[in-house]
Amino acid sequence: MPPTDAETAAAIAAHHTEMRAELNRRIANLVATVRDGAPHREAARGVLTYLEDDLLPHAMAEEATLYPAGSVGATALLVRAMSAEHEGLVARVAAFRAEQDPLGLAAGAVAIGALFESHLAKENDLLIPALVANPDVVLAELLAGMHELIG
């Protein structure tokens, strides 16, 4: 039996929780390294690798599936704002990639973590419930096999 929309919504939320934990772990590691004045390159690479290999592909997968589904009707403005947040994340990741200064890296990572956290809350608490409630959207079909979104 294919998953229900409620099951798909739960899988999305669980994947978000995992992502936030892993990103926060890597950010905390970078901040601690910089605070200690220890060599920070590896910790910075740990953050950047996660951003480039997981977070940005996740955002792109949403832009290809969830966001088009939510871009009409009651969720249209919300999706526009969330799309702009994705652009903000892309820009901050580019700035992080170019940053050399340890304090700049730590500050950049913390800012990305905070932006991601408030973005996730909109997805989990506003967009996904609205899509589940929308009879024109079948979440489970939309996201079938999308490992970037449902883990």
**Where on the chain is the footprint of Fe ion (CB under 5 A)?**
59, 62, 123
The whole-angstrom separation of Cα 77 and Cα 81 is 6
Residues 6+ apart with CB under 8 A from 137: 5, 69, 70, 131
Q: What is the smallest separation between the CB atom of 103 and Fe ion, expressed in angstroms? A: 28
Our CB check for Fe ion shows the closer of 3 and 57 to be: 57
Our CB check for Fe ion shows the closer of 44 and 66 to be: 66
Query: Hey, what are 21's tokens?
Result: 């934990």
Among 41, 38, 37, 24, CA closest to 114: 24
Contact 89, 113 (CB under 8 A): no
Q: What is the smallest separation between the CB atom of 23 and Fe ion, expressed in angstroms? A: 12
Give the 3-state secondary structure of residue 144.
coil
Our CB check for Fe ion shows the closer of 54 and 99 to be: 54
Our CB check for Fe ion shows the closer of 18 and 101 to be: 18
Q: What is the smallest separation between the CB atom of 29 and Fe ion, expressed in angstroms? A: 22
Q: What is the smallest separation between the CB atom of 62 and Fe ion, expressed in angstroms? A: 5
